[in-house]
Chain A
Amino acid sequence: MDDAAAHDSSRESSLQRDVASTEPSLDALCTRLANGDAEAFETIFRRLSEPIFRYVCGMVSDESLAHDLTQDTFAKLWTARDRMTSVGSLRAYVFRMARNRVYNQQRDAQTRRKNRDQLRKAPPHGSPPAPDRALDANLLRDRLREWIDELPNRQREALTLRRQQDLSHDTIADLMDIAPSTVNNHITRALKHLRERLREHRSDPHS
């Protein structure tokens, strides 16, 4: 665990060095945003909207919905800009806003996933296998998407957040309201599940 913390903190500090050398820091932008600076808002959007989009994508598995939720998050950031003076880390704050939106949507998303699962589970009567089964890499990616959808919410969330380069282990734990060690438990369990699926898939690729 110590190892992990060391790894993460070194990554974080090297990142901050990078940012400081080229562009204004997020915290400086945050102060300007609180004063209603639209230009600062645009810079923040350009820097954070794609990571937020990827996180939301990982959670709702419907790209157009992910787009909407990302836009909603930043719209809210702009309308609540005068409250930004008391925000610790802007990045964590925006992620938390996005997360609230995702969880508010989750009820709908879950019904949708259930519907889709039912469709997927229906045995494919009378339909011959698609002719391009051979495209293994693409197929694996599609399958992976399905397998990830099967994961419990929190495992999927931890796995998605951990791939975000700019988020430290502690930030993720804080965001998810769990202990840092639990984050890794979630990810390990998720990876184990994905590996089982991968092995099943290898032994019977047509299932």
Chain B
Amino acid sequence: MDHNMPPLPPDLRPPDADAARDYERIWTALYRTDAAQASEYDVDAAWADLADRLDLAPLPDPVEDRRNERTARPPHEKDDARSSRYVRTLATAVLVVCAVAAGWWWQQPVSVTTAAGEQTTVTLPDGSTAEVNSATRLSYRRGFQSLPWVPASRRRVRLTGEAFFDVDEADRPFHVVTPNARIEVLGTTFGVRARTADDRSETTVTLSSGRVRLTPTTATSATSEVTLSEAGDRSRVVEEQGPTSPETVDLKYVRAWRNGGFAIRNAALPTVLDELERRFGVPLSLRVAPSETAPMTLHYAAEAQIEEVLRDICVIQGLSYRETSQGYELVRDD
């Protein structure tokens, strides 16, 4: 029994001795939970956050202030004039530096990065949107312009990972650039997946509506390009190979992740687990030789839960899963 734990208040004590013992035990356990919570609460960090949010700067040290004043005060009038000229020069310099910095800032691409298990939707400067899947990086120029106030002739977004684009204003060019391919958009909605597996860059584009043109960026001849024009058309660029001629896929596989679901088609189990790790941000390990597992197809239209998916995988593959300290592991059924 902990001595510093306050006892059950007497007005809550039941007449039955057995019940009283249980209540006492529950009360103590509740207090222990409280104590654990309190010990995790970092009041300094919380205050720093709040002060930052409310712009409450730490109060200035008055001694420090006075000392600064004394050194700043000039002894003679002549010095005064000189120092004011100095101040003016300094102010001009600061302005110039600011202008240069602003220009530099403008040149910096805006980037959006999602962690494993995280998804987001980005509205691009032209009103187009990108739904961004987990473990993805997307970047673009501020305002899609190389200089402020100069309208850009083309819009360009760089992507590593997976995203679904809905592009406005079809008449202005819109490009998605992945590490190994370029997608030229002709007014449309489409999904792009640019992941690196086994050190191979791979870009897959699936069209939802409109038209897009896919070109490998590393290929030597410019003729190797493919235009997708039917909903469900999919093409792929692997390293410098491709693009493959369009095949038709069921759009539900592209739609799933955007509705909080999960889908993968005809993939080896290690690939499925990689994808799940990214999607849910949970480490998964396979304690069985990959050769003993079979390729599989999964589809959850919406609201996928990691445990539900693992359970189904286990049923299909004849495995069991169990929770580890960080995530889950899949083992042979016994």
B47 CB-CB contact with A under 8 Å: yes
With contacts A7-B9, A191-B23, A195-B19 taken as known, whether A46 is within 8 angstroms of B320 at the C-beta atoms is no
Per the bound structure, the CA–CA distance linking A32 and B150 in Å amounts to 52
Q: Would you list which residues of chain B between 11 and 62 have a CB under 8 Å from chain A?
A: 11-12, 14, 19, 22-23, 25-27, 29-34, 36-38, 40-41, 43, 46-47, 49-51, 53-54, 56, 59
**CB atoms of B315 and A126 under 8 A apart:** yes
B212 CB-CB contact with A under 8 Å: no
**CB atoms of B47 and A42 under 8 A apart:** yes
Beta-carbon nearest neighbor of B29 in chain A: A144
Contacts of A140 in B (CB 8 A): 29
**CB atoms of B9 and A122 under 8 A apart:** no
Contacts of B323 in A (CB 8 A): 127, 130
**CB atoms of A195 and B11 under 8 A apart:** no
Distance to closest chain B CB from A3 (angstroms)? 6
Q: Would you list which residues of chain A between 147 and 204 have a CB under 8 Å from chain B?
A: 159, 162-163, 165, 184, 187-188, 191, 194-195, 198-199
**CB atoms of B320 and A195 under 8 A apart:** no
A95 CB-CB contact with B under 8 Å: no
Per the bound structure, the CA–CA distance linking A4 and B13 in Å amounts to 11
With contacts A53-B37, A126-B321, A141-B29 taken as known, whether A71 is within 8 angstroms of B307 at the C-beta atoms is no
Q: Contact mask B297-334 → A, CB, 8 Å, 1/0?
A: 00000000101100100110001111100000000010
With contacts A122-B308, A126-B333, A195-B23 taken as known, whether A4 is within 8 angstroms of B33 at the C-beta atoms is no
A17 CB-CB contact with B under 8 Å: no
Q: Would you list which residues of chain A between 2 and 41 have a CB under 8 Å from chain B?
A: 3-4, 7, 38-39, 41
Contacts of B74 in A (CB 8 A): none
Q: Is the interface of A mostly helix, strand, loop or mixed?
A: helix
Interface size on A (CB < 8 Å)? 48
Most chain A beta-carbon contacts within 10 A, residue among B26, B40, B56, B322:
B26
**CB atoms of A71 and B37 under 8 A apart:** no
Contacts of B305 in A (CB 8 A): 119
**CB atoms of A126 and B37 under 8 A apart:** no
A135 CB-CB contact with B under 8 Å: no
**CB atoms of B26 and A3 under 8 A apart:** no
A67 CB-CB contact with B under 8 Å: yes
**CB atoms of A126 and B31 under 8 A apart:** no
Contacts of B6 in A (CB 8 A): 165
Of the candidates A4, A41, A42, which one forms a contact with B9 in the assembled complex, judged by CB atoms under 8 Å apart?
A4
Beta-carbon nearest neighbor of A70 in chain B: B46
Q: Is the interface of B mostly helix, strand, loop or mixed?
A: helix
Per the bound structure, the CA–CA distance linking A127 and B329 in Å amounts to 10
Per the bound structure, the CA–CA distance linking A28 and B308 in Å amounts to 55
Bin chain B's interface residue count.
35 or more
**CB atoms of A125 and B37 under 8 A apart:** no
**CB atoms of A126 and B11 under 8 A apart:** no
Q: Would you list which residues of chain A between 103 and 155 have a CB under 8 Å from chain B?
A: 119, 122, 124-128, 130-131, 140-141, 144-145
Distance to closest chain B CB from A92 (angstroms)? 20
Beta-carbon nearest neighbor of B11 in chain A: A4
**CB atoms of A184 and B11 under 8 A apart:** yes
With contacts A119-B305, A144-B29 taken as known, whether A1 is within 8 angstroms of B11 at the C-beta atoms is yes
**CB atoms of A162 and B37 under 8 A apart:** no
**CB atoms of A195 and B12 under 8 A apart:** no
Contacts of A124 in B (CB 8 A): 311
Of the candidates B19, B30, B47, which one forms a contact with A163 in the assembled complex, judged by CB atoms under 8 Å apart?
B30
Distance to closest chain A CB from B316 (angstroms)? 11
Distance to closest chain B CB from A142 (angstroms)? 10
**CB atoms of B54 and A78 under 8 A apart:** yes
**CB atoms of B59 and A39 under 8 A apart:** yes
Contacts of B9 in A (CB 8 A): 4, 7, 162
Distance to closest chain A CB from B270 (angstroms)? 19
**CB atoms of B31 and A163 under 8 A apart:** yes
B151 CB-CB contact with A under 8 Å: no
Beta-carbon nearest neighbor of A8 in chain B: B9
Per the bound structure, the CA–CA distance linking A191 and B43 in Å amounts to 31
Beta-carbon nearest neighbor of B323 in chain A: A130
Per the bound structure, the CA–CA distance linking A41 and B54 in Å amounts to 12
A45 CB-CB contact with B under 8 Å: yes
**CB atoms of A119 and B12 under 8 A apart:** no
Give me 6 other A-B pairs in contact (C-beta within 8 A), A53-B37, A122-B307, A198-B25 excluded: A42-B47, A57-B37, A75-B50, A75-B53, A124-B311, A127-B311
Give me the interface of A with B, judged by CB distance under 8 Å: 1, 3-4, 7, 38-39, 41-42, 45-46, 49-50, 53-54, 57, 63, 67, 70-71, 74-75, 78-79, 119, 122, 124-128, 130-131, 140-141, 144-145, 159, 162-163, 165, 184, 187-188, 191, 194-195, 198-199
- In the assembled complex, 8 residue pairs joining A and B whose CB atoms fall closer than 8 Å, in A order, are A39-B59, A45-B50, A49-B46, A53-B37, A71-B49, A127-B321, A130-B323, A162-B12
